[in-house]
Amino acid sequence: MDLHREDKPHIGFFGRCNTGKSTLVNMLAGQNVSIVSQTKGTTTDTVKKTMELFGAGSVVLIDTAGIDDASQLGEKRVEKTMQAFNLTDVSVVIISQNLAGSYEQDLLQKSKERNIPCILVYNKNDECPVNEQTLRFMQQSEADFLILSALDKTDVKQLSELIAAKLNQRERETENVLQNIVKQGDTVVMVTPIDTSAPKGRLILPQVKMIRQALDCHAMCLTVQPDELQQALNSLNRPPKLVITDSQAFEYVNKIVPRSVYLTSFSLLLAKQKGNFNLYAKGLGQIDRLCDGDTVLMLESCTHQPTCEDIGRVKLPAMLKKYTSKQLNCKAVAGLTDNEKDISKVKLVIQCGGCVASMQQLKNRLQPFVSMNIPVTNYGMAIAYMNGIFKRCSEIFFTNG
C-alpha cells in the first residue's frame, strides 16, 4: 500500500455515464483498473490507481461515477464525484455521442473555480464523429481539447502527453524549502516528539521530508526528542544553524534554543513550501477576535485514529480555549474530500501542515472558505502565535529569502 498516495498529483476523469472514462483510465494505466460495461452507471464510486506517467512521474488516476447517474443511489454517487474535485490537480472532462451541455459546463466551471487545469476530451470519435455544434462548444470552453478514441493507443498517448504538460506547467513541490536557509556543513537539529499519536515504527512525513531536504543541502542532521534537546545542543562544537521542531513542542523548545539560533517548525516549512504561508499568516489575527460559541474548524489532510494526545482534536482546541478564555466549538474534519456541511457558521479554519496533500489539493480544500472570506491559518503557525513566538519562528523566511 502506498501510504503517501495523496501526496502525488491526481488526475480526475469526469463526465456523463458511458462516455468512456473507465476505458481511458484503463488504457492510460495499462491494466483493468475500472470495470468497463455498456450498462449505464457501472462505475458506482471513485476508483484510484497509482501509475508512472511518462514525463510527469508518479500520479494517481481517479475514475468517477457519471454525473448524470439517475439510479436509486445516483445522488450519492454524484456527490462522491464532485468531492473528487478536492483531490484533483488536473481534470479531464469527457464528452461522447455529441452530448455537450449543462453537465459539461458545470464540470468546466468547477475546474475554473478551483483554478484546476482542465482538458476537454471528445471520446469515441470512431463510433460517433464529433459534429459542428460539439466542436464549437469545445472551442469556446477555454480548455485545451482533444478528439480521440480511447481504443486508439496513439490517441491515448496524446492525452498522456497533454496531462504531463499540464502538470509540468504548474509549480511542482520539488523545490527544497531549506536550500536558501542552510548550506553544506551546517547542522540542523530536528525535534521529533515520540508520543502515543506518533506512528509506530516510523517518523511522520514532514520529518522525513525535512531530513531529506537537509541532506540534499549537504547539511548535518541531528534528530532528537524534546527531552534530549539540551544535551544535543551541549554536545555540538558550534551552535546549529537551524532547529526545526514539531509544533506541539514549541513552548518547551523555545526556552532551550538560544535566540541567536534560527527556530521554526515542520508545519511552517510546509506552509512556506506549499505556497499558503501569507494566507495563513493573515488569518492568525482572527484568533484574538474569537467569541464565546464560535466554531473553529480543524482540517486534517490525512485520516488516522485519534488519541488522547491528538494535536487537532485535543491539544490545539485546549490551547485555543486557554489562550482566548472563550467557550469555543472546535470541530475536526479528516481527509481531503469531506467538509463541514454549513461553513457559513465557521469563524476560523486551522489547516494541518498538509504533508500528504499536493499544493493544488490544499487550494481545493481551502477554496470554499477563502471565497467566503473566512480566515484560514495553519496548525504550527497558530501554536507559535499563541506562544508569542511566531515572529521568531518565521523570521528565517524573510532573512534568507
DSSP 219-244: PEEEEE-GGGHHHHHHH-SS--SEEE
334-343 as b/e: b if 16+ CB within 10 A: bbbbeebeee
Return the pLDDT at 308. Answer: 47
Within the chain, which residue ranges are assigned CATH 3.40.50.11420? Answer: 187-270
Q: Which three cell numbers stand for residue 36?
A: 468497463
Tens of pLDDT, residues 312-341: 888 899 999 999 999 999 998 887 665 667
15 to each of 83, 91, 293, how far by Cα in Å?
14, 10, 42
Question: Does residue 46 register a pLDDT over 50?
Answer: yes
Q: Which of 239-243, 330-334, 360-364 has the lowest mean pLDDT?
A: 360-364
Residue 108 parent element (H or E): helix 102-113
Fold of 187-270: Rossmann fold (3.40.50)
Phi and psi angles of residue 224, each rounded to the nearest 5 degrees, phi first? -140, 165
Return the pLDDT at 52. Answer: 87
In whole angstroms, give the CA distance from residue 200 to residue 301: 19
In whole angstroms, give the CA distance from residue 76 to residue 152: 33
Strands 242-245 and 346-351: unpaired
- Give, in degrees to the nearest 5, the angle at Cα 359 between 354 and 365: 65
Return the pLDDT at 186. Answer: 96
Question: CA dihedral defined by 15, 20, 22, 23, rounded to 10 degrees?
Answer: -150
Q: Which three cell numbers stand for residue 107?
A: 464540470
pLDDT band at 146 (very low <50, low <70, confident <90, very high): very high
Return the pLDDT at 304. Answer: 52
Which segments of 210-309 are extended strands (E)?
220-224, 242-245, 262-265, 295-300
Tens of pLDDT, residues 23-36: 899 888 886 655 44
Please give the CATH number for the structural domain made up of 5-169.
3.40.50.300
Let me know: does 195 contact 142? Beta carbons within 8 Å: no
Residue of 375, 352, 368 lying closest to 248 (CA atoms) = 352
Within the chain, which residue ranges are assigned CATH 3.40.50.300? Answer: 5-169
In whole angstroms, give the CA distance from residue 126 to residue 150: 9
Within the chain, which residue ranges are assigned CATH 3.40.50.11410? Answer: 279-386
Residue of 207, 319, 189 lying closest to 258 (CA atoms) = 189
- Give, in degrees to the nearest 5, the angle at Cα 323 between 322 and 328: 65
> Quick check: pTM over 0.95?
no
What single string gives the DSSP state of each residue in 114-163?
Answer: TT--EEEEE--TTTS---HHHHHHHHTSSSEEEE--TT-HHHHHHHHHHH
Mean pLDDT throughout 161-185? 82
Mean pLDDT throughout 128-141? 94
Return the pLDDT at 238. Answer: 95
| pLDDT, the chain, mean | 86
Question: Does residue 249 register a pLDDT over 70?
Answer: yes
In whole angstroms, give the CA distance from residue 400 to residue 178: 10
The rounded radius of gyration (Å) of the Cα atoms in the chain is 23
Return the pLDDT at 400. Answer: 66
Residues 6+ apart with CB under 8 A from 324: 287, 288, 290
Fold of 279-386: Rossmann fold (3.40.50)
In whole angstroms, give the CA distance from residue 299 to residue 343: 12
User: For the sheet containing 346-351, what is the strand order?
Assistant: 329-334, 295-300, 346-351, 376-378
Q: Which three cell numbers stand for residue 296?
A: 473553529
Residue 13 parent element (H or E): strand 10-15
Q: Which three cell numbers stand for residue 30?
A: 495499462
